[in-house]
Structure 1
Amino acid sequence: MTLFLIAVSLLYALFTLILWITWVRIPFFKPLAAVPHQPYISVVIPVRNEANTIGKLLADLNQQSYPQFEVIVADDSSSDHTVSIVRSCVQSVSFNLQLLALTDEPTSSPKKRAISQSIAQAKGDLIVTTDGDCRVGPAWLATIASFYQSTGAKLISGPVTFTAEHTVSDSLQTVEFASLIGSGACTMALGMPTMCNGANLCYEKQAFSEVGGFSGIDHIASGDDEFLMHKIANRYPKAIRFLKSPEAIVSTSPHQSWKAFYNQRKRWASKWRMYQSWGPSLLAVFIFLSNAAPVLAVVAWLFNTISSSTALLVIGLKALPEFLFLRQVLLFLQKNKQVPTIPLTQLIYPVYVVFFGLVAQQTGYYWKDRKLK
């Protein structure tokens, strides 16, 4: 037991230090003063009951400095005022805004259906996806277009964080989310992309077509971002990039209810069983074991199976490299005030990972008030 815990912790410490160094070495992107050729962008926003937020997002899009874009809002049978709000904006915004009403038919993945139907009528060379509860800055699309011109990337993953934190729960979610964004960025930089977030994602429409869109993964409820990224990465292994720029940050609200948080994290955790390549699956298992190690160490110490020094070593090997990495990512995301929250997150996170790793083995969860398999 002792050797296993120390070995896993040492490997995790090395892994996290590599992430930290990789993150620091990812250069900040400074947008070009002018994009030589302005690609036309189609912003796709799948929505369901987003009346409280969709108007703010459309207002943000109306302030974009980049002129060459359209917006497709794919409404998935909203029962609130989402549709009427979007319709009222059609005449008032300066960009081409389309409302796409989706048919309320049974599907394993409503979000993939919404994106696919939107892309089918999109005019853009680039597809940019975000969510109806997000906020974006005025240089968001201009930064994406400039990065695309500079790199020729087939898929661009952008940074996502939460809006202002008001509770301890909000802060904990911000730190946890920063770890996911940072880890995904580093694995892309290392040429082994593992995760991204559909709230800030860009890819070529042609690349989407070349890999068959969501074909082969359309039966999986989640993964409209990660599984598509893996498909494009298989075809273009060197064309997956992370956009490290403050101007590209997208923000969304943290969950205010345990039920919503539970269903989202269960949905995320359940994806590891569906990975078609061994890399992401192996990483998921490794992260689970690494977070289980300090929990097991504490339990073993309480039962006098290992010494207190061994337990502290296991905890320290996880906590110290993590702090260095998370601090750098939070500073980039302009979440300086959340740095002191890292130790509290580290105290809770191992139990949280073990819990959702086990819960994810059960099928079925709710998304947007729908039971999905």
Structure 2
Amino acid sequence: MDSYLYQYAYVVPECGFTCPHWKLLCVEFQTQNGIMILFLLGIAIVYVLTISWLIYGFTKINHFEYIGSSPKTSFSIIVPFRNEAENLPVLLESFSKLNYPMDLFEVILVDDESEEEFRWQNTDYRIQFLKNIRVSNSPKKDAITTAMEIVKTDWVITTDADCTVPKNWLLALDNFIQLHHVSMIAGAVIYDCNNSFLHHFQQLDLASLQGATIGSFGIKKGFMCNGANFAYTKSFFQKLKGFEGNSTIASGDDVFLLQKALSQYPEKVAYLKSKNTIVTTKPVNDWKSLFYQRVRWASKTTSYQSTFGKRLGLLVFVMNFGFFYCLVLTVFGILPYFSPVIYFLIKFGIDTVLIQQTNKFLTEHKMRHLFLSSLWYPFFSTAVALYCLFGKYEWKGRRF
């Protein structure tokens, strides 16, 4: 600290300052510098305590790997899609490999104005095809609502066209439903990555989100889920009045419905932490698409019903922005050079614990590019958060 003050000792006298002015300047500079360091340190401490709480919550959700016989639950799998002619056959093929009676599930494909026609071959399970009926600003919510009109089963599952499901997906869900009195179940999602930095960056980001999701359920503060692996009963959906109240927001068919359920009937909602139900999806293949995807995800945070979710989102933003800010102040000589290093290592250390814990549950593959991804993430996430305040994003060939 003193070395930075000494640098000013040679500048100030040349500007005509007298000794009293110089002392005041030194005191003011040192005070502001100290306040800044204390502020950044305070943010880091709160962040470490919060992530530690989520890590603890993660351990409180027990693994459910029981696979029993005598399935009883009937499911309707709703798949909204737009221009997915390449991905849908892969998803439908994974359905055909399900270890579940074909007469106990059906698939409802909802076409949201695709520019190319999709045709499927005959399957051993029932498929229904619908055209999306648009009534709101959210194509996906409209698609699910459209499908709900023809659902005859007790349970509904939503997933995405670019996903594949494990063979015991429905069987594990059925077993869990038979053993627990719940009406809504959230499940895990993982990326199918190649060796590129872009793909592994997304996987580490998703692992942190999945870790926060599971951890929040463990501390009774659930606020997030993924619509690629989300199940609920039709009667519960109707009881919640569907997506009423958030239809003006383009995304959030999963999160807003979950938060509405947790605010009214928390005892009816559960997280299924099972390797048998982890759905695999595709990462995007360019940075622009990833940026827009994360903007779409971030843009709904301010509309959360969950106070915990809002505060956590704000804390994560401030922590990431704090690293960027700390680095800028160091470049201009306002903070010591070691400040951003210590700040980053604190964040990197606690994040790594959560990500490693989650990655161990999600996959047997080792994490790659963890340090480089963690170094790049604060800049990327800060840009996303600031852009979503005023910018537009593209999704499925549309602009929102």
Residue correspondence of structure 1 range 20-31 to structure 2 within 5 A: 20-31=55-66
Of residues 43, 46, 66 in structure 2, which corresponds to 1:8?
A: 43
Provide the residue aligned with 2:87 in structure 1. Answer: 53
Equivalent position amino acid for 2:173 in 1: I
**CA distance in 2: counterparts of 1:366 and 1:224, whole angstroms:** 17
Shift of 1:64: 1.0
Provide the residue aligned with 2:388 in structure 1. Answer: 360
Shift of 1:148: 2.0
Residue correspondence of structure 1 range 205-220 to structure 2 within 5 A: 205-220=234-249
2:387 matches 1:351:
no
Of residues 233, 247, 267 in structure 1, which corresponds to 2:296?
A: 267
**CA distance in 2: counterparts of 1:124 and 1:354, whole angstroms:** 43
Provide the residue aligned with 1:239 in structure 2. Answer: 268
**CA distance in 2: counterparts of 1:96 and 1:189, whole angstroms:** 37
Shift of 1:303: 2.0
SS at match of 1:336: coil
Contact (CA 8 Å) 1:188, 1:240: kept in 2 or not?
Answer: no
Greater Cα shift, 296-305 or 282-291: 296-305
Provide the residue aligned with 2:323 in structure 1. Answer: 294
SS at match of 1:77: coil
Aligned length, in residue pairs: 363
Equivalent position amino acid for 2:216 in 1: T
Contact (CA 8 Å) 2:223, 2:306: kept in 1 or not?
Answer: no
Of residues 171, 179, 190 in structure 2, which corresponds to 1:142?
A: 171
SS at match of 1:71: strand
Provide the residue aligned with 1:93 in structure 2. Answer: 123
Contact (CA 8 Å) 2:65, 2:276: kept in 1 or not?
Answer: no
Structure 1 stretches lacking a partner, 5+ long? none
Equivalent position amino acid for 1:368 in 2: K
**CA distance in 1: counterparts of 2:368 and 2:126, whole angstroms:** 44
Equivalent position amino acid for 1:307 in 2: P
Provide the residue aligned with 2:213 in structure 1. Answer: 184
TM-score w.r.t. length of structure 1: 0.93
**CA distance in 2: counterparts of 1:240 and 1:308, whole angstroms:** 48
Shift of 1:26: 2.2
**CA distance in 1: counterparts of 2:193 and 2:298, whole angstroms:** 26
Q: Percent identity?
A: 32
Residue correspondence of structure 1 range 245-256 to structure 2 within 5 A: 245-256=274-285
Greater Cα shift, 251-260 or 19-28: 19-28
Shift of 1:173: 0.6
Greater Cα shift, 188-197 or 238-247: 238-247
**CA distance in 1: counterparts of 2:91 and 2:77, whole angstroms:** 12
Task: Provide Cα deviations, 1:205-261, integer angstroms capped at 9, x if missing partner.
Answer: 111110100111111111000000011111112332221111111111110123322
Q: Greater CA radius of gyration, 1 or 2?
A: 2
Provide the residue aligned with 2:399 in structure 1. Answer: 371
Shift of 1:8: 0.4
Contact (CA 8 Å) 1:160, 1:251: kept in 2 or not?
Answer: yes
2:18 matches 1:18:
no
Contact (CA 8 Å) 1:16, 1:321: kept in 2 or not?
Answer: yes
Contact (CA 8 Å) 2:186, 2:231: kept in 1 or not?
Answer: yes
**CA distance in 2: counterparts of 1:343 and 1:239, whole angstroms:** 39
Of residues 134, 148, 154 in structure 2, which corresponds to 1:119?
A: 148
Contact (CA 8 Å) 2:162, 2:282: kept in 1 or not?
Answer: yes
Once superposed, what is the RMSD of the aligned Cα atoms?
1.6
Provide the residue aligned with 1:62 in structure 2. Answer: 96
Provide the residue aligned with 1:40 in structure 2. Answer: 74
**CA distance in 2: counterparts of 1:127 and 1:141, whole angstroms:** 11
2:343 matches 1:314:
yes
Contact (CA 8 Å) 2:163, 2:280: kept in 1 or not?
Answer: yes
**CA distance in 2: counterparts of 1:239 and 1:8, whole angstroms:** 35
SS at match of 2:300: helix
TM-score w.r.t. length of structure 2: 0.87
**CA distance in 2: counterparts of 1:342 and 1:277, whole angstroms:** 30
Of residues 186, 196, 201 in structure 2, which corresponds to 1:167?
A: 196
Shift of 1:335: 4.8
SS at match of 1:308: coil
Contact (CA 8 Å) 1:323, 1:343: kept in 2 or not?
Answer: no
Equivalent position amino acid for 2:111 in 1: D
Contact (CA 8 Å) 2:198, 2:287: kept in 1 or not?
Answer: no
